[in-house]
Amino acid sequence: MTTLPDALDALVAAARAAGLDEAAARAEGEAVAATVSERSRGAFVDWCTQTGRERSAEEHMLAAKRGNRFRAGPTPLMSQLLLEKSAQAADYAGALADVAIAGSRLGEPGPDAVGAATTVTTAQLGGGSAGLTPPASAPGAFDLPERQPVPGLGDQMLDQVRRVGDQVRRQLGALNSAAPTLPTDPDPTTAEPTSTDVPRPADGVQTQAAEPETPPAEEPKPEEPTKTVEELLAELDALIGLANVKGEIHRQAAVLRVEGLRKEAGLDTPTITRHLVFNGNPGTGKTTVARLVAGIYRALGLLSKGQLVEVDRSELVAGYLGQTAAKTAEVVASAEGGVLFIDEAYSLSGDQYGKESIDTLVKEMEDKRDDLVVIVAGYPLPMAIFISENPGLESRFRTTVDFADYTDDELVAIFASMVEGADYDAGDAVEERLREILAETERGPSFGNARFVRNLMEAAIGRHAWRLRDVPAPTLEQLRGLEPDDLVVDPNDQQRAAAEAADGEVVPPEHVEPAEPVDPFTDTPEEES
């Protein structure tokens, strides 16, 4: 079977072939593996060992926090390839899927790893943040969502999704039967290579003899066109809900387009700030829209690359004064040519470290004003206070976009889109069960909107795999069909979400006491209170 080091090496090779930054690709892969294995007991030990780190639960936790973003949408490098319609997108997405599979084997694998690996894998399809786009009207058993942006990528990606579920399901079956070893992948020396395999010769082995003496010259591949403004606005309009947001982004696109045309005509134009404030609760689509804004700005000629770099305080602030400025400047440099998205930006207020980061950010925004857009996001009231308290920020962030919470109908539609994107079926009974859960769930500050239903889907996929662990040859209907009993709200997840909302920190599952003893593979507590 493919180990995590091998999967990471293959990911780096795919990045190299696509002309991407290799270190950034490895970091993405390590974060994917961490978030997939986050709930697996002892996974942090394997993750640290296989990534070459000293044993540290905190390192694994922080990487998992970064990787959690990739459950909702493509990684920054994957997003860049999708935006460019790169021919290398399929290979890179497949390599990310292999990393997810390897990550699901870390520690003591369980059903949680199945859902996480599947969600991360399908999220790399792009175009709707793994579920914010409504499902196709009448898809067949293995049809792709119409949002698929890369020809040929979908079939390969859905195959990867099936591999994730199949391989982890086999692991669960092996663990349940106390098998001494897990089933292994086919012998690489005899197995037929797939399009995502990246050959890596063993140390000291010469491969020149296997190649033609005079390899034919490769014709340069025609450069694929990037997405147009119209295509990106159509993707925006296809998102579920967000009527106010769509109107504001359309208005921004129109204003900036006319500004560009006036400049071309030699007319005077007022300086229009492109930086944005996104106000909204968690899971309301802020990152998804930010990714589309990056593409729209690039299509308008305002940005050279159009990538999205998403960070929070921990990725901007260092442990000592003087180091923070360098750390912030490095992050800004990685976002140059695209959009820097700072989640919970108000967390930078209140201490000298955060102030150093803000001061550096303001300077970098001025120095790179022609090829950088910054979007700050978070809860409405703290964001308003954060912007008003700093004159340097207030003069640069003049446009605010408000993201409303989703209605129950919108959350059900988002869930249906996520399920379809993962190549599963959820009938009326499953959706009715979801509505019951939504009706019983308190909509406080910790409620995660689309993130909440994504977590439900991940857990459902894990339970689905557990149900089939002893079925030697499940039917296609069984492989795709979720059941109402698969949808369960884990009190650990609820308390953990509340803790994250309270202080903005990720709380490891083992640090949260459950409300009552719960069997992870049934939908009712072991003891009724």
Question: Helix, strand or coil for residue 71?
Answer: helix
What distance in Å separates the CA atoms of residue 317 and residue 347, rounded to the nearest whole number? 10
CATH 3.40.50.300 in the chain, residues? 242-403
Question: Residue 170 has what pLDDT?
Answer: 55
Q: Which residue bears the tokens 């993405």?
A: 28
CATH number of the structural domain 242-403: 3.40.50.300
Mean pLDDT over residues 444-463, rounded?
87
Mind listing the pLDDT tens digit for each residue in 311-333?
989 889 987 778 899 999 999 99
Mean pLDDT over residues 256-274, rounded?
80
Residue 490 is given by DSSP the state -
Would you place residue 133 in the very low, low, confident or very high pLDDT band (cuts 50, 70, 90)?
Answer: low
Cα distances from 212 to residues 189, 209, 215, in angstroms, run: 21, 8, 5
Mean pLDDT over residues 470-493, rounded?
82
Kindly state the percentage of the chain with pLDDT values over 90: 32
Question: Residue 260 has what pLDDT?
Answer: 82
Q: Decide if pLDDT at 232 tops 60.
A: yes
If we measure between CA atoms, which residue out of 261, 239, 236, 291 comes closest to residue 131? Answer: 239
Q: What is the residue-wise DSSP string for 268-318? A: --------EEEEE-TTSSHHHHHHHHHHHHHHTTS-SS--EEEE-GGGT--
Residues near 464 by beta carbon (within 8 Å), at least 6 away in sequence: 114, 424, 481, 482, 483, 486
Mind listing the pLDDT tens digit for each residue in 5-52?
999 999 999 999 999 989 999 999 999 999 998 888 889 999 999 999
Mean pLDDT over residues 77-100, rounded?
86
Mind listing the pLDDT tens digit for each residue in 151-190?
344 444 455 555 555 555 555 455 444 433 333 343 333 3
Q: What residue type is 24 in one-letter code?
A: A
Q: Decide if pLDDT at 212 tops 80.
A: no
Q: Decide if pLDDT at 251 tops 80.
A: yes
Tokens of 193: 């290579």
Question: Helix, strand or coil for residue 218?
Answer: coil
Would you place residue 233 in the very low, low, confident or very high pLDDT band (cuts 50, 70, 90)?
Answer: very high
